[in-house]
Structure 1
Amino acid sequence: MKILVIQLARLGDILQTIPTLNALQRLNPGAEIHLLVRSRFSAAADLIPHLSRTWLLDSRTIFAPLFEQGNLRETQVQLRSLLRDLRNENFGQIINLSFSPASSYLTTCLASPGVDVRGYVRHADGFFNPNEDASCYFYAQVGVGKSNRIHITDLMAQVAGVSLATGDWFTKYKPKKVDALPEKYVAIHIGASQANKAYSAENWAKVINKFDAPIVLIGAVGERPLTEEIFQFVGENKKYFITDLVGRTSFTELFDVIAQSQILVGADSAPMAMAPFTDTKCVNLSSQTVNFWETGPRVSGSRVIFSKKINDIHPGDVIKEIQNTILGAPAGKNVAIATSAPDGYIPQFPTSDDFEWNLVKALYMGGELPVVEDYSTILAMTQLREINQIVLEQTQQILIKKESSLHADLIARGDEIIAGIKRFAPKILPLISWYEVERTRIPPGKLANIAERTIKICKGLEHVLSLYLGTLSPQLRRSNENFALESLPDFE
């Protein structure tokens, strides 16, 4: 069998795909594994063992005629050529791990009857289809502002239908010892995957000025200006303890530097995704612009220092956690410690979304429903239940009358109100997201089939809401009703 894995995201995402690719080969020893990536990130694909072929999507070349000359035809010709070559491989399984709705168009173009397709695709009418359960979970519950606590690497494996083993974290590159580097040092990646995730030059300089050990700076060529800015703040006596390799290493040489370091320090970035392959502990600087549960360091004992804004992390706390990690000492405040436990991290600070995460586990993993302790959430559930009952009744009328025009308008209005409830009731966002994504999964077809699927989803939502609202005491119900008169927003 031939298997095509599509990963059109960035460098770190390709690195996080490697364990799944290794597991696919381990579980399908006779299969040909092909990988499609963007050309600019092909260096990561070169590290992956057992690949039969790496396909490159040169997005800059393909889309240049369209964006630079307005020549849509030439762009279409190049895309069709790539698609034709891929289709000719007759893949038995296509796995889209890009997690972008845009990539679903490509997956749909490559799919054919009888092919096992996993990951984002499109329905026959062109509307988005998150597809199988794991991808639906990702679309509903993963990302900044949501409460997922399953690591991206594990989610990719679930989409591919494989279970990861400890031995799946390896590449075909074996790190080499670099004699020119200090015997013991801390590697600092000064940049980040995005500018709003980066620690400032002044803060990095404060870390360097107060740290009493050799430091090796790493980063891409485009991060050289940040290096120069850092050196403007670094004391002359400290510059002798710094080895500046920013923009001066190849991709594989970066593995050498990380493997040889005592600790890797940095924000959300590709080097953080490289560290599990060298078993290097990390100190990760994180903020609310990224969900560290999903993309943070994997090696047990690594630390995540969290603040709402990354530059609010005090340089002294960074130094302290570097030392604590090296010594295996207890973590300070606002720090999460990486473990091998299912949730991934043990936060040393109060987490604000425990209810939401427990609700996610109840919806998807058979956990117990969390206890609601605030009126606003009960009020939101009450209104959600009322709107859901209207949608359910109108959908049942479609089945009875075999006609949808008026009822469809009311259902659409109900969907708008449900979407609005999310804005004032974040605690039930996981439940509403589950409902919305399940509705998205319904394929085009006969009116009766669509109505039956919708009814089933509405009944599922009603079941969860009834477990909460059906057990309220009369006194609490009266209190909620009185509170609702003043607190519920007007959706009329």
Structure 2
Amino acid sequence: MKILVTQLARLGDIYMSWPAMRALRRAHPDAEIHFLTRPRFEGAVEGLTAIDKHLSLPVSSILAPLVQENADIESALQTLNESVDALRDENYDWIINLTFSPASSYLTHAVTNPAATVTGYTRYNDGSLCLSDEVSSYFYAQVGIDKPNRVHVVDVMASMLNLEYIESDFAAPQVGSFATTLPETYLVLHVGASEKHKSLSPENWAKVLQPLAATQIPIVLIGAQGEAELAEEIQAHAIENEFVNLVGQTKISDIFAVLQDAELLIGCDSAPIHMASLTDTPTFNVSIGEVNYWETGPKSTLGFIYRAENEEALNAARVGECILGLLQGQAAPELITRAAGLVSYEKNETAQERFQWDLVQALYLGGAYPLADRMEILQGASQLADINQFAMEQIRLIPEKGLQNVGPFLDRAEEVIESISRMVPELSPLISWYQAEKVRVGPGTLEEICTAALDVHERLARHVHVYVPQEALIEQEQERKEVCDGTL
């Protein structure tokens, strides 16, 4: 078997893919596994022995002709076509898209031969998005900012591939020796972040580090070449701390050696957080801005998260006190700590958020439907049941009246369903599930599409039935019979 795995996201996403790649290798020891990334992040593949071949998609060569003063579209397309043809010529038996982006689905479809199996986002032959498996559909519907998912992305990947992890899947790679002599005992601070707004200013990092000066534990600074000035400013502000500044002086693979013996990694959301999950280094994650820490936080056994909506809301001195407490064996009550099981990090939830997550578990995992504690939920469910019933009746009229006449009514029904999701947020997971299932209705004859669409609506009706009062159900059934009998 020949397998292509594409991971076209950033460094952290590549490292989050490592356990899945190792589990895939265990499940298919004789397969030839190729791993496709962007050239910019190829360093994140060093030491990943689970793959047979690393490939790079020349994104810069494709985009460069498009951003010059006189865009050279023909040159860009030629480079893209050459890359696609080379991948298609490999004749992969199984293509796995771990990127989870609609944009990546075009490449997946382009390199897929007719006999290949596809897992992850791809495209139908008419160009529409294809969610090729149940977990991809789950990701599309429930994962991301302002979504109810509570499962870590690392575990979502395993579920998509129908794999189970073992301890060795989360192991540091065997990489070359690291020349710099490190202190016997030390902490590691990653000075940057995956995005600038998720990081701290040098002044705030100094405030974080000030309580640690009394421990006399050296702090090893790590980061990219472009973060060298930031590291120097941190040192200038935190004059009481002892530093070993390695910012801009390491390869990405060297970071494993630095993390391996560290007492603790301190950092915002970035690749080292996920590298520390492979070395099982205790990790203190300062989580700032729009990020779901339960989806992308540390997977280290001892993982701790200090959460702030933005840097202005962060009490930097208190962060330092929390870190000092951990070094003394005490976890402050405001820290979010690593949990075992389906949910990696428990979230301080509102009643609405708890309802949403429980509803997700009912929809996908066979859990019990949560009890509605607001009248608005029941009212929203009744409205959803009504408009869903209306949509089904319209779909049944398509063979008689034609899609051109029925289509506007169906479009209006979709608008109403979307508005219910906004007005009654507790029901948004159910509506997102429905919308993803509609996406999964692929191209076909009009009859096939109508049959598949009706199936989605009928399943929606069964789910929403739980929250519709019995009297409303009787009334709906009576109206349906009257429509069928021609009395309305």
Tell me the TM-score normalized by structure 2: 0.91
Q: Which of 212, 224, 228 is the equivalent residue of 1:224?
A: 228
Deviation at 1:52, TM superposition (A): 1.6
* 1:200-220 per-position Cα deviation (integer Å, ceiling 9, x unaligned): 222111012221332112111
Aligned residue for 1:4, secondary structure, equals: strand
Checking the alignment, whether the CA contact within 8 Å between 1:8 and 1:36 is kept in structure 2 is: yes
Other-structure match for 2:324? 323
Equivalent residue letter for 1:219 = G
Q: Distance in 2 between matches of 1:314 and 1:43?
A: 35
How much does 1:379 deviate?
A: 2.8
Q: Please give the per-residue CA displacement for 1:58-78, whole angstroms capped at 9, x wherever unaligned.
A: 211122122214111111111
Distance in 1, Cα, partners of 2:279 & 2:299? 11
Instruction: Give the alignment of 1:73-88 within 5 angstroms.
Output: 73-88=74-89
- Cα distance in 2, alignment partners of residues 194 and 471 from structure 1: 51
Deviations 1:126-157 (A, max 9, x none): 11122210111001111111111111111112
Report deviation, 1:328: 3.8
Displacement, 1:351?
7.8
Distance 1:237 1:310 in 2: 23
Shift of the alpha carbon at 1:89? 1.3
Tell me, in whole angstroms, the C-alpha distance in 1 between the residues paired with 2:299 and 2:431: 30
- With 122-131 and 177-186 compared, the bigger mean Cα shift is at 177-186
Q: Deviations over 1:217-255 (max 9, x none)?
A: 211112223223334432x333xx122222221112211
| 2:261 alignment partner in structure 1 | 260
Contact 1:387 1:414 in 2 (8 A): yes
Q: Which amino acid aligns with 1:189?
A: H
Q: Render the CA deviation track for 1:365-394: whole Å, top value 9, x for unaligned.
A: 111111111233333222222221211111
| Maintained 8 Å contact 1:186/1:215 | yes
Distance, in Å, in 1 between the alignment partners of 2:13 and 2:328 is: 31
Q: Which amino acid aligns with 2:305?
A: V
User: Is 2:115 the partner of 1:104?
Assistant: no
CA distance in 2, matches of 1:111, 1:430: 32
Q: 2:36, 2:56 within 8 Å by CA — same for their partners in 1?
A: yes
CA positional deviation for 1:189: 1.1
Does the 8 Å contact 1:189/1:266 carry over to 2? Answer: yes
Alpha carbons of structure 1 residues 307 and 371: separation in structure 2 relative to 1, 3 Å: farther
Report what 1:379 is aligned to: 379
Residue 468 in structure 1 maps to residue 471 in structure 2: no
Aligned to 1:312: 313
Secondary structure of residue in 2 paired with 1:182: coil
Report matched runs for 1:186-335 at 5 Å.
186-212=187-213, 213-234=217-238, 236-238=239-241, 241-333=242-334, 335=335
Contact kept? 1:24, 1:162, Cα under 8 Å:
yes
Q: Structure 2 CA distance, aligned partners of 1:286 and 1:377?
A: 32
Tell me the equivalent position of 1:427: 426
**Given the superposition, is the C-alpha separation of residues 161 and 258 from structure 1 closer, same or farther in structure 2, using an over 3 Å criterion?**
same
Query: Aligned runs of 1:163-202 on 2, under 5 Å?
Result: 163-174=164-175, 180-202=181-203
In structure 1, C-alpha distance between the alignment counterparts of 2:131 and 2:14, rounded to whole Å: 20
Instruction: Quote the Cα distance in structure 2 between the aligned partners of 1:385 and 1:328.
Output: 53
1: CA distance, partners of 2:253 / 2:331: 33
% identical aligned pairs: 37
Contact 2:23–2:165 (CA under 8 A) maintained in structure 1: yes
- Tell me, yes or no, if structure 1 residue 354 matches structure 2 residue 360: no
Amino acid at match of 1:373: D
| Count of aligned residue pairs for this structure pair | 470
Match in the other structure for 1:33: 33
* SS, match of residue 51 in structure 1: coil
CA distance in 2: counterparts of 1:161 and 1:402, whole angstroms: 44
In 2: Cα distance, 1:455 partner to 1:254 partner: 53
Return the alpha-carbon distance in structure 1 between the equivalents of residues 8 and 25 of structure 2: 20
Task: Tell me, yes or no, if the aligned pair for 2:192 and 2:268 is still in contact at 8 Å.
Answer: yes
Contact 2:198 2:289 in 1 (8 A): no
Match of 1:20 in 2: 20
Please list the CA deviations of residues 155-204 of structure 1 after superposition, one character each: whole Å capped at 9, or x if unmatched.
11222332222221235425857763222121111211112211222211
Structure-2 separation of matches of 1:290 and 1:274: 18
Q: SS in structure 2 opposite 1:211?
A: helix
Aligned partner letter, 2:417: I
Letter paired with 2:62 = I
Deviation at 1:419, TM superposition (A): 1.7
Offset at residue 411 of structure 1 (A): 0.5
Using the alignment, how far apart are the partners of 1:175 and 1:376 within structure 2? 60
1:120 — aligned with what? 121
Q: Distance in 2 between matches of 1:273 and 1:391?
A: 45
Rounded to whole Å, the distance in 1 between the matches of 2:200 and 2:148 is 24
Q: Give distance in 1, aligned partners of 2:327 and 2:472.
A: 53
Answer yes or no: is the 8 Å Cα contact 1:283–1:321 preserved in 2: no
Aligned 8 A contact 1:203 1:311 in 2:
no
The question of whether the paired residues in 2 share the 8 Å contact of 1:48 and 1:171 is answered with no
Name the structure 2 match of 1:490: none
Q: Which letter maps to 2:218?
A: P
Aligned amino acid, residue 434 of structure 2: Y
Separation (CA, whole Å) in 1 of partners of 2:113 and 2:250: 43
Query: Is 1:175–1:255's contact at 8 Å kept on the other side of the alignment?
Result: no
Please say if residues 337 and 347 of structure 1, whose CA atoms lie closer than 8 Å, have aligned partners that are also in contact.
no
Q: Which moved more, 1:319-328 or 1:366-375?
A: 319-328
Cα pair 2:208 2:318 within 8 Å, conserved: no
TM-score, normalising length from structure 1?
Answer: 0.90
**Structure 2: stretches of 5+ with no match in the other structure:** 474-488
